[in-house]
Amino acid sequence: MEKVKVMLWGFGAMGSGMAKMLLNKKGVEIVGVCNRSKNGKSIFEIMNIERGDHPDVLINSDIEEVMNTNPDIALVATDSYTEKTFSKLKLLMENKINVISTAEEMAYPSAQNPELAEKLDAIAKENNVSVLGTGINPGLIMDLLVVCLTGAMTDVEHIEAERVNSLSPFGAVVMEEQGVGIKVDEFEKGVKEGTLAGHVGFKESIHMIGDAIGWPVEKFEQQMKPIVTSVDRKAPHGFAKAGDVAGVNMTGQGYVDGEVKIDMKHPQQIEPEMEGTNTGDYIRIKGTPEINMAINPEVEGGLGTIAMCVNMIPHVINAHSGLKTMLDLPVPRAIMGDMRKLIRK
Amino acid sequence: MEKVKVMLWGFGAMGSGMAKMLLNKKGVEIVGVCNRSKNGKSIFEIMNIERGDHPDVLINSDIEEVMNTNPDIALVATDSYTEKTFSKLKLLMENKINVISTAEEMAYPSAQNPELAEKLDAIAKENNVSVLGTGINPGLIMDLLVVCLTGAMTDVEHIEAERVNSLSPFGAVVMEEQGVGIKVDEFEKGVKEGTLAGHVGFKESIHMIGDAIGWPVEKFEQQMKPIVTSVDRKAPHGFAKAGDVAGVNMTGQGYVDGEVKIDMKHPQQIEPEMEGTNTGDYIRIKGTPEINMAINPEVEGGLGTIAMCVNMIPHVINAHSGLKTMLDLPVPRAIMGDMRKLIRK
């Protein structure tokens, strides 16, 4: 049986991380990589790893040529928003390629873009392929894991999901998006003008949970506040002087029957330990029985997103055609054996 | 659209708990209950709850009559072992009824009884229905939840799942099965003669995890030790004098490539707090990234099993025909809305 053939679109931290993971797995091969800026270079050279027995893969800026390698699935790690990534997903599916997207909004695209979600579903069905958005969050920690735990409950009254994570492992782009190192007034200006990204995904997570358990979410709100440090904090790619912004505290609420029933808290900052903050993922569900979960430290975001996307490959290939969410597919799982054994014919 | 029609087989703590939960849900009705000893009595009378707008349901000892109520699905809460429950599941499926079983071994029947598992799958397919075994554990805490968390990992090296729970809420039958209150030498004799049940499910959980992530489990072992109390412990339905047995400490191991890679610990006892034991569910996974999860206190076993069985009803009705495990179906979730909306036609 032939190996599972994977193509990558995007070769930044996520795309190259997925490539590295795939190279360590059995029964799967990377057949092509599309990236604008690294055209012609070997992925092994860029990642600075030994090629070993793997065939070489040269980055190609021409997506048509990459699609001609006849991949079973494409991993697309280029955007955060459904609107920006839509044309890429469409093109891939029209070429009969299944798709997994890292775009946060794609984890539950009907939350922000119901029309685009419907279009994606129709395109997928016309071409007999599936498309899924996933990642660590949205995708698992503040939504699917919450949903899974409610499975042990006879009744749910209130859900709180909190993710306290460190931005220290991330690069310059993330520092900029999250406002690390800027002054408080610059931060406020960035929030007002919409230039600070913060965490993308609360609306997706809240609607995913609401739809899963049968709570129609009638209103969604979110807030973005600076985490102002009282000490100088230094991370590999970021620095925040005392009095400046060390990160962003995002909060979000989903209203059901006139009250906040789904509550999200997600403070992200560099070097949280310097002011006594311990990182972790927390899920607290009121109802019967109550559930109080903690993961300490938090599941690492970068590795977690890479793993989720690669680990969902067999589920997406096996799925009936259409737009899928994590709610539709079997639970994610690590792949320690041969990936071919997981593909149903 | 008609309500989802559910029948119950068995009306002990689990069966009656499911009935109570179902009566609080929208879009579902109990059409029949089979139980040998309570023939002719109203389930409302036995549960001592107001009937309200619900039609009355009389317990019937004749399974043929109960099956004639035309149920979409049967919840079977009568046994722990696949062999003992097999003929019941077969009869239901031959009458075109989907089935959810609480039997611990049914959570992953191929672990102990591969032939019976194959037969169940064939019978289900012949009759175009599905059969699932589930519960809190096996079914979620020490297996499905572990599998789900590995989804965020690029590589898994070692898995430890620990469930430290209290037996205090349980009744006389559980006290006896777990050896609560007996002398240490009686306990040892019970282990030797196989009369003490202890926890049923390690083999199922270990094989479920192994198969999910691609670790072929080549050997399984388990041990059963008494938890000897140094103080008198009193629970509603059990009593252990100082020096006697307050519960059972079960441990189990799954071997992969010659070493223990899946490690299970499950001490169960009455009044654990009296000797400083805090209850909880713990999952510790070595690999990349490492995951260290805790749920404190543990998810309550009785309610958890009731919830898992009821909450999986739509997934089982919607599934393709055959024997299903929690690995095959979408993640469990609470049902706070109308159950009919979750049924695909």
Give dist(CA A196, CA A243) in Å, integer. 19
Which residue in A244, A269, A248, A246 sits closest to A183, CA to CA?
A244
How long is chain B?
A: 345
Window 14-43 of B, Cβ < 8 Å to A: 21, 24
Q: Which residues of chain A have pLDDT under 50?
A: none
Among all residues of chain B, which has the CA nearest to that of A337?
A: B214
Handedness of CA B38, B42, B45, B49 (dihedral sign): positive
Chains A, B: CB pairs < 8 Å: 179
Nearest-angstrom CA–CA distance, A143 and A209: 6
User: What is the CATH code for A4-135+303-342?
Assistant: 3.40.50.720
Q: Which two tokens stand for residue B119?
A: 């037969």
Residue spans of the domains in chain A: they are 4-135+303-342, 144-298
Cα A323 to Cα A129, A211, A316: the distances in Å are 9, 15, 10
Q: How many CB atoms lie within 10 A of CB A344?
A: 7
Please, which residues have CB within 8 angstroms of residue A83's CB and are 6 or more apart in sequence? A105, A113, A116
Q: Give the DSSP H/E element, type plus range, for residue A28.
A: strand A28-34
Backbone CA torsion sign across B9, B14, B20, B23: negative
User: Using a CB-CB distance cutoff of 8 angstroms, which residues of chain B are in contact with residue A141?
Assistant: 152
Which chain A positions have a beta carbon within 8 Å of B341's beta carbon?
214
The answer to whether the bond into B289 is cis (omega within 30° of 0) is yes
- By the CB < 8 Å criterion, does B259 face chain A? no
CA atoms within 13 A on the CB side of A243: 1
Measure the CA–CA gap between A38 and A53, rounded to whole angstroms: 23
The tokens of A187 are what? 């931060």
Radius of gyration of chain B (CA): 20
Residue A65 CA to residue A70 CA, distance in Å, equals 10
DSSP E strand stretches across chain B: 4-9, 28-34, 59-60, 73-76, 98-101, 130-133, 155-166, 219-228, 233-235, 238-240, 245-256, 259-269, 280-288, 291-295, 322-324
Spatial neighbors of A189 by CB under 8 A, at least 6 apart, are: none
User: What are residue B341's phi and psi, to 5 degrees?
Assistant: -65, -20
| Alpha carbon distance, N-terminus to C-terminus of chain A | 11
What does the alpha-carbon distance between residue A321 and residue A125 come to, in Å, rounded to a whole number?
A: 5
> Which 3 state secondary structure label does DSSP give B288?
strand
The residue among A333, A343, A344 with the most chain B CBs within 10 A of its CB, best to mutate, is A333
The pTM assigned to this predicted structure is 0.97
Q: Is B129 on the interface with A (CB under 8 A)?
A: no
Which residue type, as a one-letter code, is found at position A145?
L
Look at residue A226 and give its three-state secondary structure.
strand
Per-residue pLDDT at A108: 98
Chain B: residue nearest A308 by CA? B152
Dig out the tokens for B232 from the structure.
Answer: 């008198």
CB contact under 8 A, A332 and B152: yes
CA distance B138 to B123: 23
Q: What pLDDT, on the 0 to 100 scale, is given for residue A64? A: 97
Q: Quick check: B299 contacting A, CB < 8 Å?
A: yes
First to last CA, chain B: 11
| Residue B335 near chain A (CB below 8 Å) | yes
Q: Helix A301-311 crosses helix A13-23 at what angle (to 10 degrees)?
A: 60
The closest of B174, B200, B196, B175 to B187, measured between CA atoms, is B196
CB within 8 Å of B147: residues ≥ 6 apart: A331, A333, B208, B209, B212, B213, B327
CA A280 to CA A299: how far, in whole Å? Answer: 7
The residue of chain A with its CA nearest to that of B149 is: A333
pLDDT at B174: 85
Q: Give the count of beta carbons closer than 10 Å to the beta carbon of residue A321.
A: 17
The answer to whether B147 and B158 have CB atoms below 8 angstroms apart is no
CB contact under 8 A, A151 and B291: no
Residue B15 neighbours by CB distance under 10 Å: 24
- pLDDT tens for chain B, residues 1 to 345: 899 999 999 999 999 999 999 999 999 999 999 999 889 999 999 999 999 999 999 999 999 999 999 999 999 999 899 999 999 999 999 999 999 999 999 999 999 999 999 999 999 999 999 999 999 999 999 999 999 999 999 999 999 999 999 999 888 888 988 999 999 999 999 999 988 989 999 999 999 999 999 999 999 999 999 999 999 999 999 999 999 999 999 999 999 999 999 999 999 999 999 999 989 999 999 999 999 999 999 999 999 999 999 999 999 999 999 999 999 999 999 999 999 999 997
Nearest to B307 among A144, A154, A292 (CB): A154
